Amino acid sequence: MHPETLAIHAGQHPDPVHGAVMTPIVLSSTFAQEGPGEHRGFDYSRSGNPTRNALEACGAALEGATHGLAFSSGCAATTTVLHLLRPGDHVVCGDDVYGGTFRILDRVMKPLGVTATFVDMRDLARTAEAFRPETKLVWLETPSNPMLKVFDIVAVCALAKARGAMSVVDNTFATPVIQRPLALGATAVVHSSTKYLNGHSDVVGGFVMTSDDDVAARLRFLQNAMGAVPSPFDCFLVLRGLKTLHVRVERHAKNALTLARWLEAHPDVARVHYPGLASHPQHDLAATQMALPGGMMSFVLRAGATGTVAERARRFLKALKVFTLAESLGGVESLIELPAVMTHASLPPETRAALGIDDGLVRLSAGIESVDDLQHDLAQALDASR
Ligand code: P1T
| CATH number of domain containing 370 | 3.90.1150.10
Residues 109 and 217 in one domain: yes
Q: Which of 264, 288, 35, 303 lies closest to 142, judged by CA?
A: 288
Residues 127 and 200 in one domain: yes
Q: Which of 265, 286, 272, 236 lies closest to 366, judged by CA?
A: 272
pLDDT category at 113 given cuts 50, 70, 90 is: very high
Residues 270 and 342 in one domain: yes
Q: Is the pTM of this model over 0.75?
A: yes
Query: At a CB cut-off of 8 Å and minimum separation 6, what does 244 contact?
Result: 7, 199
Mean pLDDT on 63-87? 98
Q: Which atom of ligand 1 is nearest to the CA of 100?
A: 6
Query: At a CB cut-off of 8 Å and minimum separation 6, what does 150 contact?
Result: 122, 142, 143, 144, 275, 280, 282, 285, 286, 289, 290
How many Å lie between the centroid of ligand 1 and the Cα of residue 173?
A: 9
CA distances from 118 to 3, 126, 221, 281 (A): 34, 10, 28, 20
Does 359 score more than 90 pLDDT?
Answer: no
Residue 377: the pLDDT is 98
Task: Show which residues are catalytic.
Answer: 46, 98, 170, 195
Residues 224 and 358 in one domain: no
Residues 153 and 172 in one domain: yes
Name the residue with the closest Cα to ligand 1, atom 5: 74
Residues 207 and 329 in one domain: no
Residues 227 and 280 in one domain: no
Residues 190 and 264 in one domain: no
pLDDT digits (tens, 9 = 90+) for 280-313: 999 999 999 999 999 999 999 999 888 999 999 9
**Ligand 1 pocket mutation pick from 144, 172, 333 by most atoms within 8 angstroms of CB:** 172
Residues 366 and 259 in one domain: yes
Residue 346: the pLDDT is 86
Sign, CA dihedral 179-182-185-186, equals positive
- Pocket around ligand 1 at a 6 A CB cut-off: 73-75, 98, 100-101, 141, 145, 170, 172-173, 192, 194, 204, 206, 327-329, 343
pLDDT category at 55 given cuts 50, 70, 90 is: very high
Give the Cα separation of 101 and 162 in Å (integer): 25
Q: Can you give the residue range of the structural domain that contains 143?
A: 3-242
Burial class (CB in 10 A: 0-12, 13-18, 19+), 8: middle
User: Which SS3 state, helix, strand or coil, does residue 174 take?
Assistant: coil
Number of structural domains found in the chain: 2
Residue where a domain terminates, one of 209, 242, 275? 242
Residues 222 and 339 in one domain: no
Residue where a domain terminates, one of 223, 242, 261? 242
